[in-house]
Structure 1
Amino acid sequence: MDLLDEYRRATFAFESGDPAGAARLLEPILAAEPHNAAVRQLLARAYFNSAQLAGAEAQLRVLIERDPSDHYAHHVLGRTLERAGRFSEALPHLRLAAAMKQHDDYAEALRRVQMWVGKHGGRAAGAA
């Protein structure tokens, strides 16, 4: 298997709107190159975009463990936890991302989750 060609195929699948297909292509690449942050990040994004939130969370936590200053990984982990209804867990990651880099998407996600936590105490939607 030519890993670079497979990575290009996975990138094309992701950019063409097939995140689940991209994830399937990326998984064996990551197995062969477990320290490749670019592959891990694209896999996390593919999992996020295909609603495989546990997979996204696992990949993002590895990225953050290896590089705690990765603002993008903190942002996407925060968004993943938000999407899973885990607002209180999302908040610290969104705060870190917004503090590390000024970006409209980071600020908007932080505002949204802060508002939710303020209104609901961090409980998931529908929780009693």
Structure 2
Amino acid sequence: MDLLEDYRKATFYFESGDPLGAARLLEPIVEAEPHNSAVRLLLARAYFNSAQLSGAETQLRELVEHDPSDHYAHHVLGRTLERAGRFREALPHLRLAAAMKQHADYAEALHRVEEWLGKSDPLEKS
């Protein structure tokens, strides 16, 4: 197994719109290289893009546990939880990402979840 070649193929598949194909190639790489954050993040994004939200969440939680300052991992974890309808769990990750880095996507996701929670639960204004 040539991990580098498989990673390159997985990146190509992901960028070509085949997240399932990318995930199939990335899973054994993450198994072989569990501390490789770039591979784990690409696998999380492949899972997210193919609606395998549980898999995405697992990979992203591993990333934020390893590096709590990874704003992008917090953002994607928040988006994954949002997509799963777990808005209260998403909110702290989205807030943290937006606080760590000013980015339009971060602000939009945070606003969307805050709006949703504000409409569904008037007590969730903290």
Q: TM-score range by the shorter chain?
A: over 0.9
How many Å apart are 1:99 and its aligned residue? 0.1
User: Do residues 100 (structure 1) and 100 (structure 2) align?
Assistant: yes
5+ residue gaps, structure 2, are none
5+ residue gaps, structure 1, are 123-128
Aligned-partner residue type, residue 54 of structure 1: S
CA deviation string 1:77-120 (max 9, x = no partner): 00000000000100000000000000000000000000000011
User: Do residues 40 (structure 1) and 40 (structure 2) align?
Assistant: yes
How many Å apart are 1:37 and its aligned residue? 0.3
The size of the alignment, in residue pairs, is 122
Structure 1 residue ranges (4+ consecutive) displaced by more than 4 angstroms after TM superposition: none
The equivalent residue for 2:50 is: 50
- Give 3-state SS (helix, strand or coil) of 2:69's partner: coil
Percent identity over the alignment is: 81
TM-score relative to the length of structure 2: 0.95
Report the RMSD for the aligned CA atoms in angstroms: 1.0
Aligned-partner residue type, residue 89 of structure 1: E
Q: Distance in 2 between matches of 1:120 and 1:4?
A: 47
- Give 3-state SS (helix, strand or coil) of 2:31's partner: helix
Q: Distance in 1 between matches of 2:121 and 2:18?
A: 35
The equivalent residue for 2:2 is: 2
Q: Distance in 1 between matches of 2:56 and 2:90?
A: 13
TM-score relative to the length of structure 1: 0.94
